[in-house]
Amino acid sequence: MKKQAVVIRDQDNVATVVDDFKAGTLIHFFLGNQEQSVLLLQDIPLGHKIAIREIPIGEEIIKYGESIGGATLDIKAGEHVHVHNMESLRGRGDK
């Protein structure tokens, strides 16, 4: 299998894609030693994040084992995770 997305830690709930992919593409990645896949619900540009499982509103977005923000909407597996459905929780001073 050619790696199409990168997941570093088992607790990650997003993967980073390694190419541009169209909606409807079945993306393959490894979670630990186990190959998994998710169907893309939207076009995803190179280097962007996809949800690899459901992420409810308010849950932290975990990438590379670290929280990079919180979900501002319910995010379905296979959806693009970006500024339209997450917000940074670091260095804000208001949260």
Cα–Cα distance for residue pair 30/10, rounded to 1 Å: 9
Total number of domains in the chain = 1
Is 51 contained in some domain? yes
Is 94 contained in some domain? no
Is 95 contained in some domain? no
Q: How confident is the model over 24-82, as pLDDT tens digits? A: 999 999 998 999 999 999 999 999 999 999 999 999 999 999 999 999 999 999 999 99
Q: Give, rounded to a whole angstrom, the gap between the first and last alpha carbons of the chain.
A: 42
Is 69 contained in some domain? yes
Above pLDDT 70, what percent of the chain?
94
Cα–Cα distance for residue pair 34/24, rounded to 1 Å: 22
Is 54 contained in some domain? yes
Could you say which DSSP state residue 10 is in? T
Half-sphere exposure of 3 (CA within 13 A, CB side): 12
Domain range holding 31?
5-87
Q: Is the pLDDT of residue 11 over 70?
A: yes
Is 15 contained in some domain? yes
Which CATH number characterizes residue 53's domain? 2.30.130.110
Cα–Cα distance for residue pair 41/2, rounded to 1 Å: 20
**pTM of the entire structure?**
0.91
